[in-house]
């Protein structure tokens, strides 16, 4: 193997020799004064922004397809690993960190055109576009069309849609990948493929099989979905004793089974300060988006979940696009322009997340145990999200896309812990906390396999062995993320990238390593 400095030089020469229009202007190396700011701009987790974090040899902020093709071809020629970054929200930083060094980052920040055709209810979006940019682009053309993707506007459409893309209208329409009707991908040979030329197997795999595994997705074609001109939102917070929290949330688990498909429901749960008698208190925010008017919503809630005590004053009618601003917690009446900012609303923290899928209601007594654990860490650092599934999600076959969490999933749990102190001690304290909670939850969540959501990537589930992962090893996390779809993903990978060029610590291995 060549020394890193030689490889670096050879790689750069390779890129520049091909004279791909102006590529030298978008190449950043550590000697370049903008290198750190370009690298850090899309880092969303301070865990991967330390002096010990492995840094890319080169970042290419591609301006066009030719720049991506050149980077793929030269990286292969010089034995460099590639990471592709869209919005940089990967929970384990895999779009800009690699254990195998040296590596190269293709950053898609400059490729973010959104072209909406309201007449055909479709849009082509380049994968460097954030969800906020996509929603904004749709709203410029129509206030009654939407796209079912995630809540945080700075999430990138490249990574998000590669992993599934759950949304606030998924009980009505399913998730992002259920509405991808074409794509443009650059494969390991540098070819530009669309749906017809890549074939249905690869087209199936890129819609949920995880990022940086099958090629670089340059653009998605979206099928937009209709929404009413006015939708209704609410976000009501209850501060409850441990017992009352368990009662109310226990009841919610039954209520969501009866919820109308037009009604999305999520609970954000934090610990709260103990009250004067020293009792554990829980703060639970019940958040909803209803595809209809307030009166109908109130009567639905009265029928199915009266215990919440929702009143008209809790509810706000607005357009769907305004609801995306509201859900992202911007102040009321913020300009839609906030959707265009790539800088997150809240500052970055050290962060670890995990996920689970619940198929049977969790008993009250077991919920008590969760709240006790929430109160072991400072208020607001730990947050749980319970997100109701059901509705349209139950009707889509598990094999229709690689995202398998469909019929029978009652709700999804997202566990998150954020902290601000640097160093190994804080890391150990908070990651142990979340791992202990995760292990406590085992009896109450999906089993055989215990399922997980690839977009909430969790390296605790297992990691690749420096690019030589066997099928058996990868199936440890692969079956949790993809269930029975894992085998088909392995077959597609084997056909399109048998040498495993596109890979990361949890990507799908080719069959040669079976
Ligand atoms: P990033 O750029 O880090 O990419 C993630 C992965 O995809 C990496 O492996 C990367 O290499 C690969 N990749 C990126 N672009 C690619 C491309 N063009 N071609 C091939 N591979 C590519 N999820 C959800 O379903 N619903 C939600 O509401 C939210 N909300 C949310 C909020 C916040 C604050 C965070 C941090 C995360 C979420 N997520 C989420 C999870 C999110 O969907 C997940 O982290 C995505 O992978 C992020 O995509 P980015 O493009 O931002 O990440």
3-state helix, strand, coil split of the chain in percent (to 5) is 40, 20, 40
Say if ligand 1 is within 6 A of residue 159 CB.
yes
Q: 189 CA to middle of ligand 1, Å?
A: 25
Mean pLDDT of 348-371: 97
Average pLDDT, the chain: 95
Q: How confident is the model at residue 1 (pLDDT cuts 50, 70, 90)?
A: very low
Closest by CA position to 20, among listed 72, 61, 70? 70
Mean pLDDT of 364-368: 97
Say if ligand 1 is within 6 A of residue 94 CB.
yes
Mean pLDDT of 111-117: 98
With H, G, I as helix, E, B as strand and everything else as coil, classify residue 424.
Answer: helix
**Contact criterion met (CB below 8 Å) for 146 and 230:** no
Q: 159 CA to middle of ligand 1, Å?
A: 4
Q: Which of 150, 153, 166 to mutate to test the pocket of ligand 1 (most atoms within 8 A of CB)?
A: 150
Residues 6 or more apart from 123 whose CB is under 8 A from it? Answer: 114, 115, 116, 117, 134, 137, 138, 147, 221, 222, 224
What's the confidence (pLDDT) of residue 17? 81
User: What's the CA gap between 125 and 131, in Å, rounded?
Assistant: 10
Q: Is the pLDDT assigned to residue 24 strictly greater than 70?
A: yes
**Contact criterion met (CB below 8 Å) for 207 and 401:** yes
- The DSSP secondary structure of 42-86, one letter per residue, reads T---GGGSSTTS---SEEE--SSHHHHHHHHHHHHHTT-EEEEES
What's the confidence (pLDDT) of residue 21? 64
Please report where in the chains the tokens 């949304």 appear, as a residue: 167
Say if ligand 1 is within 6 A of residue 83 CB.
yes
Nearest CA to ligand 1 atom 34: 152
Say if ligand 1 is within 6 A of residue 87 CB.
yes
Please report where in the chains the tokens 């390296």 appear, as a residue: 459
Q: Which of 46, 67, 69, 84 to mutate to test the pocket of ligand 1 (most atoms within 8 A of CB)?
A: 84
Q: How confident is the model at residue 378 (pLDDT cuts 50, 70, 90)?
A: confident
Residue 94, judged by CB atoms within 10 A of its CB (0-12, 13-18, 19+), counts as: buried
List of E strands, 15-160: 27-28, 58-60, 81-85, 103-107, 114-117, 122-126, 145-146
pLDDT digits (tens, 9 = 90+) for 395-417: 999 999 999 999 999 999 999 99
Question: In whole angstroms, what separates CA 408 from the centre of its chain?
Answer: 22
pLDDT digits (tens, 9 = 90+) for 454-463: 999 999 999 9
The backbone torsions φ and ψ at residue 508, rounded to the nearest 5 degrees and listed phi first, read -80, 130
- Give the pair of three-digit tokens for residue 179: 């509405």
Closest by CA position to 110, among listed 156, 176, 58, 170? 156
User: What's the CA gap between 96 and 505, in Å, rounded?
Assistant: 12
Q: Which of 72, 98, 159 to mutate to test the pocket of ligand 1 (most atoms within 8 A of CB)?
A: 159
Mean pLDDT of 30-45: 96
Return the DSSP state at 64.
S
Q: 242 CA to middle of ligand 1, Å?
A: 34
Mean pLDDT of 187-194: 98
Is residue 430 among the annotated active site residues? no
Residues 6 or more apart from 259 whose CB is under 8 A from it? Answer: 171, 265, 300, 304, 305, 388, 390, 391
Domains of the chain plus CATH, in order, are: 4-107 (3.30.43.10), 114-226 (3.30.465.10), 231-318+349-455 (3.40.462.20), 462-513 (no CATH)
What's the confidence (pLDDT) of residue 464? 81
User: What's the CA gap between 119 and 310, in Å, rounded?
Assistant: 38
Mean pLDDT of 26-53: 96
- The DSSP secondary structure of 378-414, one letter per residue, reads -TTTEEEEEEE--THHHHS-TTSSS----TT--EEEE
User: What Rg do the C-alpha atoms of the chain give, in angstroms?
Assistant: 23
User: What's the CA gap between 262 and 324, in Å, rounded?
Assistant: 16
Q: 160 CA to middle of ligand 1, Å?
A: 4
Which alpha helices (DSSP H) does 235-391 contain, by range? 242-258, 294-304, 320-327, 364-374
Q: How confident is the model at residue 3 (pLDDT cuts 50, 70, 90)?
A: low
- Give the pair of three-digit tokens for residue 59: 């970042």
Q: How confident is the model at residue 324 (pLDDT cuts 50, 70, 90)?
A: very high
Q: Is the pLDDT assigned to residue 53 strictly greater than 80?
A: yes
Say if ligand 1 is within 6 A of residue 438 CB.
no
Nearest CA to ligand 1 atom 12: 211
Say if ligand 1 is within 6 A of residue 127 CB.
yes
Q: How confident is the model at residue 514 (pLDDT cuts 50, 70, 90)?
A: very low
342-206-58-497 Cα dihedral, nearest 10 degrees: 180
- Give the pair of three-digit tokens for residue 486: 């894992």
Q: Is the pLDDT assigned to residue 278 strictly greater than 90?
A: no
Q: 279 CA to middle of ligand 1, Å?
A: 39
Say if ligand 1 is within 6 A of residue 165 CB.
yes
| CA–CA distances in Å: residue 456 to residues 273, 412, 452, 465, 478 | 28, 11, 8, 21, 13
- Dmax over CA atoms of the chain, in Å, equals 73
What's the confidence (pLDDT) of residue 276? 74
Q: How confident is the model at residue 19 (pLDDT cuts 50, 70, 90)?
A: low
**Contact criterion met (CB below 8 Å) for 421 and 431:** no
Catalytic residue of the set 96, 326, 456, 471? 456
Say if ligand 1 is within 6 A of residue 455 CB.
yes
User: What's the CA gap between 367 and 383, in Å, rounded?
Assistant: 14
Q: 442 CA to middle of ligand 1, Å?
A: 26
Q: 230 CA to middle of ligand 1, Å?
A: 29
Rounded percentage of the chain residues whose pLDDT exceeds 70: 97
What's the confidence (pLDDT) of residue 380? 75
Say if ligand 1 is within 6 A of residue 208 CB.
no
Say if ligand 1 is within 6 A of residue 153 CB.
no
What's the confidence (pLDDT) of residue 37? 98
Please report where in the chains the tokens 């008993």 appear, as a residue: 363
User: What's the CA gap between 200 and 488, in Å, rounded?
Assistant: 12
Q: Is the pLDDT assigned to residue 290 strictly greater than 70?
A: yes
Global ipTM: 0.99
- For residue 90, which atom of ligand 1 is closest to its CA? 3
């Amino acid at each position: 193997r060549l020394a890193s400095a030689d490889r670096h030089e050879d790689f750069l020469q390779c890129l520049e020799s091909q004279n791909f229009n102006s590529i030298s202007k978008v190449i950043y190396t550590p000697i370049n004064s903008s290198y750190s700011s370009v690298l850090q701009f899309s880092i969303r987790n301070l865990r991967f922004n330390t002096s010990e974090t492995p840094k890319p040899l080169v970042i290419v902020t591609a301006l066009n397809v030719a720049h991506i093709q050149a980077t793929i071809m030269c990286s292969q020629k010089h034995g460099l690993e590639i990471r592709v970054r869209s919005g940089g929200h990967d929970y384990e930083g895999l779009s800009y960190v690699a254990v195998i060094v040296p590596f190269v980052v293709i950053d898609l920040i400059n490729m973010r055109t959104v072209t909406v055709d309201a007449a055909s209810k479709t849009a082509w979006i380049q994968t460097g576009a954030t969800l906020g940019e996509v929603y904004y682009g749709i709203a410029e053309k129509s206030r009654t069309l939407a796209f079912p993707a995630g809540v945080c506007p700075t999430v990138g459409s490249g990574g998000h849609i590669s992993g599934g893309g759950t949304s606030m209208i998924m009980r009505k329409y399913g998730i992002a990948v259920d509405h991808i009707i074409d794509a443009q991908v650059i494969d390991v040979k540098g070819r530009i493929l669309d749906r017809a030329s890549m074939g249905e197997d690869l087209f199936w795999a890129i819609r949920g099989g995880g990022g940086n595994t099958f090629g670089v997705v340059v653009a998605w074609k979206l099928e937009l979905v209709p929404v009413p001109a006015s939708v209704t939102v609410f976000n009501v917070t209850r501060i409850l004793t441990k017992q009352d929290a368990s009662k109310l949330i226990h009841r919610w688990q039954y209520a969501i089974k009866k919820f109308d498909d037009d009604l999305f429901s999520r609970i954000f749960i934090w610990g709260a300060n103990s009250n004067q008698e020293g009792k554990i208190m829980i703060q639970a925010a019940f958040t909803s988006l209803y595809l209809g008017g307030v009166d109908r919503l109130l009567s639905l809630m009265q029928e199915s979940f009266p215990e919440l005590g929702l009143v008209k004053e809790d509810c706000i009618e607005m357009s769907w696009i305004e609801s995306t601003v509201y859900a992202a917690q911007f102040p009321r009446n913020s300009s839609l322009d906030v959707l265009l900012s790539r800088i997150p609303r809240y500052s970055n923290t050290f962060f670890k997340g995990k996920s689970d899928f619940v198929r049977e209601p969790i008993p009250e007594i077991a919920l008590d145990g969760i709240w006790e654990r929430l109160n072991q860490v400072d208020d607001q650092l730990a947050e749980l999200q319970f997100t109701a599934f059901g509705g349209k999600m139950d009707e889509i076959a598990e094999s229709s896309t690689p995202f398998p969490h469909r019929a029978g999933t009652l709700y999804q749990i997202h566990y998150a812990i954020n902290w601000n102190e640097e160093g190994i001690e804080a890391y150990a304290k908070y990651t142990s906390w979340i791992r202990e909670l995760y292990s406590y939850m085992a009896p109450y969540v999906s089993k055989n396999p215990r399922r997980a959501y690839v977009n909430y990537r969790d390296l605790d589930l297992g990691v690749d062995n420096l690019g030589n992962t066997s099928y058996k090893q990868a199936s440890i996390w692969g079956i949790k993320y993809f269930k029975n779809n894992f085998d088909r993903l392995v077959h597609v990978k084997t056909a399109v990238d048998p040498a495993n060029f596109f890979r990361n610590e949890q990507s799908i291995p080719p069959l040669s390593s079976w």
